[in-house]
Amino acid sequence: MSNILLLSVGTRNKIIQYFKENNKSGKVIATDMSEIAPAIYEADKHYIVPRITDNNYLDIILDICKKEKMDGILSLIDPELSLLAMNKEKFDTLGVKIVGSSYELCEMSLNKINMFNWLNEHGYNCAKSYDKKEEFYKDLDNGDISFPVFVKPVEGSASILISKVDNRDEIELLFSKHDGLMIQEFLKGQEIGADVYIDLISKEVVSIFTKKKIVMRAGETDKSVSFKDEKLFALIKKFVKEAGYTGQIDIDIFDVDGDYYISEVNPRFGGGYPHAYECGVNNIKLIYKNLNGEENEYSSEYEEGVYMMKYNEVCMKKLGE
C-alpha cells in the first residue's frame, strides 16, 4: 500500500477514516494549522503547519514528504490546490504524486467568472454571471435577466458573503462594502452534487455518484438523496473530458425544468462525499490503485433513494500529551 499526506484536513474526519480503512499497510498522515482541528487525530500521524500563505509553508510540506516517504498528496481546501499544482515538479522529484488537477484548472475553478466564461464559451448551460454592475443593469433593463439574483465573491467558498438580493439598492450597498464581488443569475431548480473521479493514469472518468441536495449548511451538503440519470452522467463525462480535470472533483449542478446547468467545480473531495462512500462508491480505493501504478475501470454502481443525514460528533483531547 501507499503512504498518503492529506493537507488542511480541518473537520473532515470521515475522509481520514476512509483513507485509513483502505490502507492497512501504508501511512495516512494529516496536516492542519490548528491543534484543535479534530480530523488530524484520526490519522496515523499529524503535523501542525503554518498558514498556506507562509513563506516557508511549501518547504515544510516537502520536508514532511521526504521524511515520511510519501507516495501521494492531496488537499481538502480550495486555495491550496493551486499551490500544489504550481509546484508539481518539486513533488515529482520526490516521487510524490499530486491527486488533483492542473494549475490552470484549479485557478479557473476558484474564479467563478472564469468558470462561467469557460462554460459559456463551450456551450454548457450555466447561470449568467457578471463582475461589472453596469453589464448586469444593461441585461436587466433589456429583460435578459431579472431579480432575485445572487451577489457573491468572485473567489470564495463555504457560501461566505453570499447574498440573495431583490433590487438595485441592495446591489449598490453590497458593492460599496466589499471588493471582488459578482452578480449571478438565480437558478430556480433542484441542486445536485456530483462526486467524480478521473483516473490519474488513463485520464478517463471512472466513477460518478450523483445526489439531490435537500439541506445545505455553510456551503456543504447536510442532507441529500442518491439518484441516477444517464443523461446527466453523459453530460458530466463530456464536461470533464473537455475541461481536462483529473483526480477527485466535486461538481455543483442545477436541474432547471429538465435541463442541467453546471454551476461550480471543486477539484477536491466535497463535504458531501461521505454519501457516495457509504453507498459503496469508493473513490479512495481508486486513488490508492493509481498511486500503485494501476489503472481503474469505469464503475458507478450504487443504489438510488438512499438518504444521507449529517449530524454532529465530538472529539475530546487533552493537548500536549
User: Could you tell me which of 172, 152, 155 has the C-alpha nearest to residue 163?
Assistant: 152
pLDDT of residue 157: 66
User: Could you tell me which of 19, 24, 5 has the C-alpha nearest to residue 64?
Assistant: 5
- Domain 188-309 coded CATH 3.30.43.10: no
pLDDT of residue 73: 98
pLDDT of residue 217: 81
Domain assignments of the chain as residue spans, ordered by start: 4-98, 128-185, 188-309
pLDDT of residue 300: 86
CATH of span 4-98: 3.40.50.20
pLDDT of residue 159: 60
Mean pLDDT by 10 residues, the chain (321 residues): 95 97 95 98 98 97 98 96 98 98 97 97 98 96 96 79 92 94 96 98 98 86 95 98 98 97 96 97 98 95 97 89 60
What strands lie across the sheet with 205-217, from one edge to the other? 259-266, 247-256, 190-198, 205-217, 220-227, 307-309
pLDDT of residue 197: 98
Cβ neighbours for 138, distance < 8 A, ≥ 6 positions apart = none
- As a whole number of angstroms, the distance between CA 89 and CA 80 comes to 16
DSSP state of 80: H
pLDDT of residue 205: 98
Helix (H, G, I), strand (E, B) or coil at 111: strand
* Angle subtended at Cα 82 by Cα 162 and Cα 181, rounded to the nearest 5 degrees: 25
Region for 310 from its dihedrals, namely left if φ exceeds 0, alpha if ψ lies in -120 to 50, beta otherwise: beta
Fold that domain 128-185 belongs to in CATH? Dna Ligase; domain 1 (3.30.1490)
